[in-house]
């Protein structure tokens, strides 16, 4: 796959992934079963921030690979690319994240179809997020693993897309609160069938929401 196609693929994937992640994490009603000091709104906003940061970094890695030039396969309409990485990166508001993972891409450049699978593990070190106008610093306890699956056809979502997050972090807010947040959540969506599901646990809050039609 040439650089242009890989860049277009990266853009189409994140157009697919971000719209269904945002409403699922921020707007869906939840049943409360809390054992921590974060409010439900703060817990959901923190989980969304962690997920979006991981997604944005995946986009950056895809763009870097495209700039460097992807391995060339034998002439064929079907291309497969596998990228692994391990590095430490800065957080926008302070702190760092140790990241490692794999990006897998299968694309049919003739049919303009692509499937992307990403698995990443992040260990946060005082990484600061802005959560509802409040700064929250998180550190891995032990880490957060994010799994992403997306498929597109002509730049549009194709089939069921998914984002999963699992792991835990210690958090400290700028108003003096602190605690541990465990994450075990799966978001699935099929825009063609107007289906969206969010279920799991976010910082002690239970989420189980399905929207159809």
Judged against a pLDDT cut of 70, whether residue 65 lies above it is answered with no
**The pLDDT value given to residue 23:** 45
What's the Cα-to-Cα distance from 156 to each of 9, 29, 159, rounded to whole Å?
A: 11, 27, 10
Q: Are 170 and 179 in contact (CB under 8 A)?
A: yes
Q: Report the distance separating Cα 40 and Cα 25, nearest Å.
A: 11
- Name 64's Cβ contacts closer than 8 Å, sequence gap at least 6: none
**The pLDDT value given to residue 126:** 97
Query: Which residue matches tokens 């003739």?
Result: 110
Nearest residue to 128 (alpha-carbon basis) of 49, 41, 45: 49
DSSP strand pairing (96-108 vs 78-90): antiparallel
Nearest residue to 109 (alpha-carbon basis) of 129, 142, 81: 81
More reliable by pLDDT, 10 or 161: 161
Q: Report the distance separating Cα 123 and Cα 169, nearest Å.
A: 9
Q: Give me the mean pLDDT over the 39-53 stretch.
A: 87
Q: What are 6-43's pLDDT values in tens digits?
A: 444 454 455 445 444 544 444 444 444 444 488 988 99
Counted domains in the chain? 1
Name the band, by pLDDT with cuts 50, 70 and 90, for residue 208: confident
Question: Where in the sequence is the domain holding 185, given as residue range(s)?
Answer: 3-212
Q: Report the distance separating Cα 38 and Cα 162, nearest Å.
A: 26
Q: Report the distance separating Cα 143 and Cα 159, nearest Å.
A: 30
- Weakest mean pLDDT among 34-43, 83-92, 145-154, 156-165: 34-43
Neighbours of 75 (CB within 10 A): 5
Name the band, by pLDDT with cuts 50, 70 and 90, for residue 88: very high
Nearest residue to 206 (alpha-carbon basis) of 31, 28, 38, 22: 31
């Amino acid at each position: 796959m040439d650089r242009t196609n890989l860049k277009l693929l990266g853009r189409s994937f994140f157009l697919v992934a971000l719209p269904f992640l945002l409403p699922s994490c921020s707007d869906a009603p939840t049943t409360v079963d809390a054992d921590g000091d974060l409010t439900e709104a703060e817990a959901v906003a923190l989980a969304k921030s962690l997920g979006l940061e991981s997604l944005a970094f995946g986009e950056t890695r895809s763009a870097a690979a495209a700039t460097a030039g992807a391995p060339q396969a034998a002439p064929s309409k079907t291309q497969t690319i596998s990228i692994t990485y391990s590095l430490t990166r800065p957080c926008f508001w302070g702190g760092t994240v140790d990241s490692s993972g794999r990006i897998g891409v299968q694309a049919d450049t003739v049919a303009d179809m692509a499937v992307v699978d990403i698995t990443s593990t992040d260990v946060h070190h005082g990484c600061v997020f802005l959560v509802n106008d409040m700064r929250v610093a998180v550190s891995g306890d032990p880490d957060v693993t994010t799994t992403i699956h997306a498929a597109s056809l002509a730049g549009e979502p194709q089939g069921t897309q998914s984002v999963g997050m699992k792991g835990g972090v210690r958090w400290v807010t700028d108003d003096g609160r602190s605690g541990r947040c465990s994450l075990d959540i799966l978001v699935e969506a099929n825009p063609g069938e107007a289906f969206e599901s969010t279920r799991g646990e976010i910082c002690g809050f239970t989420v189980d929401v399905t929207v159809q039609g």
